[in-house]
């Protein structure tokens, strides 16, 4: 069996992803030791209040970095290392999740688009490879490229995620700055935590794009066989 050299396409994106993950861990660890003066829960509530958002509940959830906003129940769930912790990292993470709640409250377009394409993304992630492989085995170009098209939905999801995540961080930092609770050094630290986290989404998009290009190369074999 000949060596599949298309794997080489993925290497730069994988290395980028590993770097982004390492950066998140080191940045979060550094600013987890920096005192902020308010807890993650208080920071999230403050961001909501400064944006006039009401009706959002803030709860503690188990796990590490399991923080998220659930639009179905209108609940911000903060991990134990964030909820009642007074670190710069905790404040940044909590404020970011509150930023997502604000996005839903104001009807931010990209987050509505991301929610709408989630079903397509899920279908694409499950069926893209099976369709591609069946197409290759049968020499069916239509099936092979249908698999590629489905995976393109995954790429679209990652692409739409970028403005969503960056905007949530911007909303969080603007509210933290306007509140006057954090000193300049603390606000800068929160920004570094959020920017490091944002790079993981850039890396995810890079991996998805590399994989899409690889699938196109593989699917193109049906034209040559």
Residue positions annotated with a catalytic role: 97
- State how beta strands 57-61 and 68-70 pair: unpaired
Pairing state between β 75-79 and 57-61: parallel
Residues in the chain, overall count = 225
* Rounded CA separation 135/199 (Å): 35
Choose among 119, 43, 54: nearest CA to 85: 43
Contact 73, 56 (CB under 8 A): no
């Amino acid at each position: 069996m000949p060596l599949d050299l298309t794997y080489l396409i993925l290497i730069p994106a994988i290395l980028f992803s590993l770097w982004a993950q390492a950066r998140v861990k080191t940045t979060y660890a550094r600013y987890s030791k920096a005192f902020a003066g308010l807890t993650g829960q208080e920071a999230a509530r403050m961001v909501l209040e400064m944006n006039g958002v009401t009706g959002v509940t803030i709860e503690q959830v188990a796990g590490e970095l399991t923080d998220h906003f659930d639009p179905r129940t209108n609940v911000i769930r903060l991990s134990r290392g964030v909820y009642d912790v007074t670190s710069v990292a905790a404040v940044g993470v909590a404020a970011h999740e509150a930023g997502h709640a604000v996005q839903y409250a104001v009807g931010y377009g990209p987050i509505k688009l991301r929610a709408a394409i989630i079903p397509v993304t899920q279908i694409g992630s499950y069926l893209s490879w099976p369709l591609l492989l069946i197409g290759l085995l049968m020499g069916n170009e239509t099936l092979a490229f249908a698999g590629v098209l489905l995976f393109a939905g995954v790429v679209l999801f990652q692409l739409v995620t970028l403005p969503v995540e960056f905007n949530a961080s911007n909303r969080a930092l603007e509210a933290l700055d306007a509140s006057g609770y954090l000193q300049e050094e603390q606000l800068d630290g929160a920004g570094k935590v959020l920017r490091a986290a944002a790079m993981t989404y850039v890396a995810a998009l890079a991996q998805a794009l590399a994989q899409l290009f690889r699938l196109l190369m593989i699917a193109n074999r049906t034209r040559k066989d």
